Structure 1
């Protein structure tokens, strides 16, 4: 986390050993990190990449309903689901699709607090 803090990512001090960490840039862009154990908690088939980079993109859709809508629209357009929408233990509604190159692209939103 120290590397990303030096790059201007705001990460709470108590997040160094957390299984899921969100950091925010000044423009509101959110970066997130998960441990391999956290990923395997919802994607049991996950295998760490070999010989490539370890990155996935996540798009905050603003609401759980918007995650579901975006996910459905992309599936209807012929893109591939990797993890169907679900409520993550870190307080977000989440879904993962694969881009045409096989990269994970997450859609997420804070869970409703009601």
Structure 2
């Protein structure tokens, strides 16, 4: 049976995007980096984020990639306070908090942040 292993995003600037995902807790070992591709994982290594340059994606797809206006993935946090903390860390680093942390009617603390290339990531925890 297939298992979710990685989420892939493109970046205008690999260094800037790597720094953003490090704020969310991803770790990028030196051997996982090249000039066009980097890979990082959360502690525990269950899911990776793969970040490619726009040029690499365009060479593979035959067209430039585009970020959407919806989240590409969500990170489950242990507590509502962790959602607040991560969103605050993103904002304090000068990055975009698209939707500040709030208590959603479906019983979760929820926030949406945006990476430097426009990819949106939901942060959530059960209330």
TM-score, scaled relative to structure 2: 0.45
Higher RCO (CA 8 Å, separation ≥ 6 residues):
2
